[in-house]
Amino acid sequence: MRFNASSFLPLTPAEFQVLVALADGEKHGYAVIKEVARRTDGKVRIHTGTLYTIVKRFLSDGLIVESATRPDPALDDERRRYYRLTDRGRAVAVAEADRLSETLTQARAKLALKRA
């Protein structure tokens, strides 16, 4: 069956942020939470319950995978797992970004019209 990224849309803000957080490389759960908070200046905060229900669903949908490579054992916590974005996940994230961008463009055009 052909993969259709748009069938996953729209994503919730938390889902989108998780995909974006993983876009620049694999991360464990805490790192994802930190990255989201950092990138949004703390405006979006994902908590453990939400994060891992998203992780579970993305894993089963094949949007992310668990990474086999682990850091230096001295720095590693064996309870942690590392997640990596798949091509499908990247495609979904891009599709969602395009959708948001389109929405923004339309909204701005309409608001500008009104103001004029």
According to DSSP, the residues that pair with 96 across neighbouring strands are none
The verdict on 45 binding another protein (CB under 8 A) reads yes
The verdict on 28 binding another protein (CB under 8 A) reads yes
Residue pair 41/68 in contact by the 8 Å Cβ criterion: no
The verdict on 81 binding another protein (CB under 8 A) reads yes
Instruction: Give the residue with the Cβ less far from another protein, 19 or 33.
Output: 33
CB of 102 to another protein, least distance (A): 29
Distance from chain centroid for Cα 60: 15
Q: From the list 4, 6, 53, 106, which residue makes contact with another protein (rule: CB under 8 A)? A: 53
Query: Is the preceding peptide bond at 10 cis, omega within 30 degrees of 0?
Result: yes
Of 97, 64, 92, 101, the closest CA to residue 8 belongs to 92
Instruction: Give the residue with the Cβ less far from another protein, 36 or 92.
Output: 36
According to DSSP, the residues that pair with 27 across neighbouring strands are 83
The burial of 47, by beta-carbon neighbours within 10 Å (0-12 exposed, 13-18 middle, 19 or more buried), is given as exposed
Choices 19-27, 78-86, 88-96, 104-112 (CB under 8 A): range interacting with another protein? 78-86
- Would you tell me which residues interact with another protein (CB under 8 A)? 28-30, 33-34, 45, 47-53, 55-56, 77, 79-81
